[in-house]
Structure 1
Amino acid sequence: MIFKDLCIMSSKDRELFYKVAEGISDIFYVLDYHWKFIYLNQEAERYFLVQREAVIGKCIWDVFPQAVHTILYEAVHKAKGSEEKLRFDAPSFSELDVWQAYTIYPGKDYIIILIKDITKRKEEQRLSEEFFMRVFNTGLSMMTIKTLNGRFVDVNKSWLRNTGYHKEEVIGKQESDLDIWASPETRENINHLLQQGPIYNYEVEFKTKEGSNRIGLLSMEEVEIGAVKYYLEAITDVTKQKELEKEMAKLDSLNMIGQMAAGISHEFRNPITTVRGFIQMLSDRKELANIREYFDIIIEEIDRANSIISELLTLSKNKTLNLRRDNINICLNKLFPMIQATAFNDDKDAYLELSDVPDICMDESEIRQLILNLTRNAIEASPSDGKVWISTYQEGNEVVLAIRDEGSGMDPEILSQIGTPFFTTKSDGTGMGLVICYRIAERHNAKIIIDTGAKGTTFLIKFKAIPE
């Protein structure tokens, strides 16, 4: 480089070199290793408000004592005797609110310093970073800034709100310290994808501080902030959307089954009723008395088939409802003696705890079926001498029916299948009881929420209250 040859240039070449330096729009000056000015160009004169004749041969630290112990001071001492040029950005030592880009070229017995004004660029960078941080902090997506080895540098409010952490619990920690991902493979997959470039809308499962799993779409790429490389990560929580898609798929299957049942029930019931009648007639004949028990079994199975058809018809989307204003407590009081007797016959107890609740819009026959289906399940799920609680209460503008058992709870795999047609864990079940409950809830514009754990399961059915 020509700078390195300055000391061995001929006087003619050096004169030509300085003439070129005069045309440079940046500050340019040369110091010897006693820190005395050898040369400075016109831009340096203009900027420092000095005449070159007045400073040539003088020590820079005497001319500009404010420059002592600045970044420039440290840099030129570091560069002295080195063969490597230095580049850095620093505030001006002679002017407030001015940023400069320094390039230092060390020679055998001199140092060349080139200074470029980057105040405008720094201001643009500051505004850009300010805008970025404003978007980062107020964004609806869960956003993080991480080092390339996965250490958290910053997280936004949405990330904290969705995960349940406090900021001081996160900053400076590694991903592995917080166990964010639902499975170790997730981190491995993300690392693999990052090797190929930015990631866009990759579905991941992440964990909250409390340990519950959520589903999100992850986008991630490498960014540069203040000349340092980081990973910018954004996760859009789509858990509710996924749950809605799942519910819609369930409803579609219920509609299909209901339509099929409505279409075939007449054709199916006529012959099955005929068969039942003939079997009943044969069972009354004396010469067939020795096989009457078989006829009883056949009739029982025919009745069971009829019952399944009736349940399937309940799923029909076009079923007419007799909706009217009523209070669910009245329905529960009527049904409770029957529920209590069922529990007693199974060596269990049932308890009714009713609060004053507003009326709801309901079809009494359907609500009866929903209550009986859910209480029967709760009784069957509870151990011997177990208890089943049926309660009502108001929660905001909703009336809540809660049915709680003392069973062992549901596995996540089973919980995910609840409400799916023909799915059952009972050896003699049809898999339609809860499906019908979901359909009844849907027709009443109600929601079914399941809270399950090792000490039992609670079904919460939330109805819209009719304003007084």
Structure 2
Amino acid sequence: MEEALKESEKQLRTLINAMPDLVCFKDGEGRWLKVNEFGLRVFQLENVPYQGKTEAELATFSPFYRDALFCCKESDKQAWERGCTFRLEEVIPQINGEPKVFDVIKVPLFHSDGQRKGIVVIGRDITELKKTEELLRKSEKLSVVGQLAAGVAHEIRNPLTSIRGFVQFLREGNFKDEYFTTMLSELDRIELIVNEFLVLAKPQVMNFRRKNLSTLLHQVIALLSTEAVINNIQIVTDFIPVTALVDCDENQLKQVFINILKNAIEAMPNGGQITVQLKQQHDKVLLYFIDQGYGIPEERIQKLGEPFYTTKEKGTGLGLMISYKIIQSHQGSIQIKSRENIGTTVEVILPIAFDESHNFHT
């Protein structure tokens, strides 16, 4: 039995070492028990007697990875607190190259009396996948920017026409204070439109900050108002007072909202009304985009979000896929409900930001 047990352990070790993922077993105190070869290479601990040591102790052997090791310790703590499988992305720096991004799953194990038994950590290198997603996101953003260009030009032309007329009046000697007031108002309008357009078009790294969603939605609606009017569509807002803040990348959320609203506009060739609702429910903010378009057949809804699957004649399906990815990266979700010839409702759910004491930010 002892020989059989040794052989079984050897086979298990061979299997784990052959895996292209980081695999680590820790005890209830966070001490490393078993790590596969890939996991040791990630932190350059190949020649270190790691067994029985915590991240803090291992950091003394590999100072370059000190911060990454302590981040692992903190995410272990979150897994213990949740008491169930916990998934997250962790960034691990590399001495001779750019950081690697890992999709990490942590499985806390408990004794029958509830005491900590151990934790299993599995991490997969998704650096190249993240690069591909970013390229798709940039591609979709360029597409959106190109489609918005005509609407922005039209929106700018209107105030320019007013300004030109008032300048003509001034040239003829007709000076009135309201002329200057109107001209300044129109110039402010142009500045707002151009700034919103440039923010969307400008390439930016992920930059999470706490924002009020009602402000972002009003900015997006202002940007798309001309396209809506051209298509005989009215965008109506129904915002129940929401003071909570959301941790988000402002630019990326705007891209999501623009994608959803543009889809709604394109689904309503005969005009109508799009209603945008904003609500707060416990620890979440709920957004609803409700159109009166031709709807989506039930059998197609399940496939929405897949790359290159689209209900539009000239669509690529990438816009909705990127939107799903962006909301997922914000720890949120998207749900789509639709009825043919009645309309579609897109529900976006995002978590409210809270501080370390678990108090909601308002």
TM-score w.r.t. the length of structure 2 is 0.42
The structure with the larger Rg is 1
Q: Greater relative contact order (Cα 8 A, min sep 6): structure 1 or 2?
A: 2
TM-score normalized by the length of structure 1: 0.33
